[in-house]
Structure 1
């Protein structure tokens, strides 16, 4: 899905130099505001995006990825993956060697680093919303969400923005996946 390019000038309210393009009000399955992504995107002339799958990790696909590009280069990536069980090796690789890694308050477990953020949680779906895919039943309930920013102009702004975006992404994912423990 291509995003339109609109010229912008000046600075945003937070002092970050405004991008020279505009991302639509909502992006990546409707999980994020275009303004949030613009804050952490590099300068450029044209933005576009791709989504690999709809955000329904229980009916056909166990992963979904949204990429936002600026001038053809990846500027932002959001991913969601579902696994049968919590995998300690996967968790270690998710946060290994991340610059300035710190924990963030995202209901279950969450982390932020200079260029990204991640969280893991279990999704308990109601019996009334059983998976239609017998190879990926509701019992596969371990969810991993990750956000990445590439070539962001301001590391501290990126960390703050990604932390906030991850909290909202976790809430979005729990609601969209029909997790009955969404607010636990």
Structure 2
């Protein structure tokens, strides 16, 4: 995380208390602030289709990431980011699905974003291993396909 954040500042965070995209809600996030400004964000959401719209990063000329089912990474003047998705079949042994968030929404999209990193090229190199960790964490915690 060192290369993903500016060098100095007062650090604070806003973290979801529980990572579960099925029980409480279909989104979760972790935000890290420096001096009150968002400097790092990690988001997870459950989506109904694997046809994610990542066109907002097209202008940043993203490069593919070999993580999850599909992923990309990009660097712009003020941020470095990565997004990936994977399929998660929720175990049937868990409580019944919520009609607003059906189990058919089985695609998990994960996004990492570093704002104004002190070393943008170094930050981009940090994102692949961090995204791999994030995917593994999400798969374990959501118990994907583990009946």
Both structures adopt the same fold (TM-score exceeding 0.5):
yes
Moved >3 Å (runs of 4+): 92-95
Residue-pair matches, total: 142
CA distance in 1, matches of 2:127, 2:11: 19
Correspondence list, 1:37-52, <5 A? 37-52=1-16
The answer to whether structure 1 residue 146 and structure 2 residue 108 are counterparts is no
- Against the structure 1 CA distance between its residues 131 and 55, is the aligned structure 2 distance closer, same or farther, given a 3 Å change threshold? farther
The answer to whether structure 1 residue 167 and structure 2 residue 129 are counterparts is no
Moved more, 158-167 or 48-57: 48-57
- After TM superposition, the score normalised by the length of structure 2 is 0.86
- State the partner residue of 1:107: 68
- State the partner residue of 1:91: 53
Deviation string 1:84-142 (CA, Å, 9 cap, x unpaired) is 223x3x42335432x24111110311111120001011101221124553321222111
SS in 2 for 1:74: strand
Larger relative contact order (C-alpha < 8 A, sep ≥ 6)? 2
Which of 26, 29, 34 aligns to 1:62? It is 26
- State the partner residue of 1:121: 86
Higher strand share: 2
- Against the structure 1 CA distance between its residues 96 and 131, is the aligned structure 2 distance closer, same or farther, given a 3 Å change threshold? farther
Q: Radius of gyration: which is bigger?
A: 1
SS in 1 for 2:123: helix
- State the partner residue of 1:82: 46
Unaligned segments of structure 1, at least 5 residues: 1-36
